[in-house]
Amino acid sequence: MDRNKKLELEKFAADIRIGILDQLVAFGVGHIGGSLSIADTLAVLYGDVMKYDPANPTDPDRDKLVMSKGHCGPALYSALALKGFFPYEMLKTLNQGGTHLPSHCDRLKTPGVDMTTGSLGQGSSIALGMALGDKLKGRSSRTFLICGDGEINEGQFWEMCMFAGSKKVDNLVIMVDYNRKQLDGTTEEIMDLGDLASKLTAFGLDTKNIDGNDIEQLYNSLKETGKNGRPTALVLNTLKGKGIADVENTYANHSMTVTKELYEKWTAEVKSHIAGLEE
């Protein structure tokens, strides 16, 4: 990965984080922790890896993304707005009356959203069906699935893994945002996932355990998917709230209030990071 590409994607990730804040301050509260932790992944996917056209968001041959942890829609909306699927100003209508940006992802409301999600676990099965359908129709497109680590307490996720591995659905890329927190506490406290990578490997998935906030590791891993006839699983070791120190250091950071004062402080922090990248 060359330095210019890395810088481009790191700046895109920072812009996604600012877009998340623009949405949450307009509404006053929202799912900030898990949205921030997945910003780097979305930057690599929409900044380089995925095949799509904002002018034709329903192209059947496009790559598709299922944000199974649908409450982290603000991260996806930010990436889509920055790539021109809809005007950036629309971000400021998040979860308000008449909005096209509901709290959870809805494909019937938001240009560029490929699947309605939010009932945790269900996005896994839907993504598998989308990938298998494309494969049976001979399309070259891939389906990218983002799940939360708390979400995979649901048995539906593991049924999907068993089927995908058994049937070698190699155009499916499964990504678990392993930030080790869920709504009510840590994953270790609530339902210890143990050696997650080993479990996914046992289901026949081509599994990698990577730093999910490292642009270069994300880029290299996502560029190598589907090359050995098996579906890919990436365990993304992330930090919930990544990119904003106050959020990173807040224990209950699943959802937080975002005041104007905090918004100004936090956007300044992200912009300072961008300036540091450019030096």
**pTM of structure:** 0.97
SS3 of 255, please? Answer: coil
SS3 of 102, please? Answer: coil
- Name beta bridge partners: 245: none
Residue 162 identity: M
pLDDT in the model for residue 227: 81
pLDDT in the model for residue 24: 98
pLDDT in the model for residue 228: 85
Rounded Cα–Cα distance for residues 9 and 18 (Å): 14
Tell me the two tokens of residue 274.
């961008």
pLDDT in the model for residue 44: 98
Rounded Cα–Cα distance for residues 56 and 43 (Å): 20
- List, as one string, the DSSP characters of 48-67: II----TTSTT-TTS-EEEE
Please list the rounded mean pLDDT of every run of 10 residues in the chain (279 residues). Answer: 93 97 97 98 98 97 98 98 98 96 96 96 97 96 97 96 97 98 93 96 97 98 90 98 97 96 98 84
Closest residue by Cα to residue 52 from 89, 79, 78: 79
Domains of the chain: 3-278 (3.40.50.970)
Rounded to a whole number of angstroms, the CA Rg of the chain reads: 17
pLDDT in the model for residue 230: 96
Task: Identify the sign of the CA torsion 59, 49, 166, 200.
Answer: negative
